[in-house]
Amino acid sequence: MATLLTTAMLVAALTFVAQANKNKQQNDTKAIVNLRRFTT
């Protein structure tokens, strides 16, 4: 039971990290697009 709980927490943490990275990439892309818009 403890192993199952630990595994579930690990999966949740990994999912959270993956989601955060995805959001960061989207924000970086938006920033790059905005930069291009200003420079051109």
The pair of three-digit structure tokens given for residue 11, joined into one six-digit string: 């999966």
1-40 tens-digit pLDDT? 689 999 999 999 999 999 999 999 999 999 999 998 887 6
The label of the residue with tokens 């949740």 reads 12
> What pLDDT sits at residue 21?
94
> What pLDDT sits at residue 37?
87
Task: Return d(Cα 24, Cα 3) in angstroms, integer.
Answer: 31
> What pLDDT sits at residue 1?
66
The pair of three-digit structure tokens given for residue 25, joined into one six-digit string: 């990439």
The neighbour count for residue 20, using CB atoms within 10 Å, is: 10
> What pLDDT sits at residue 16?
96
Could you give the count of Cα atoms lying within 13 Å of 6 in the half-sphere of its Cβ? 3
Task: Return d(Cα 3, Cα 25) in angstroms, integer.
Answer: 33
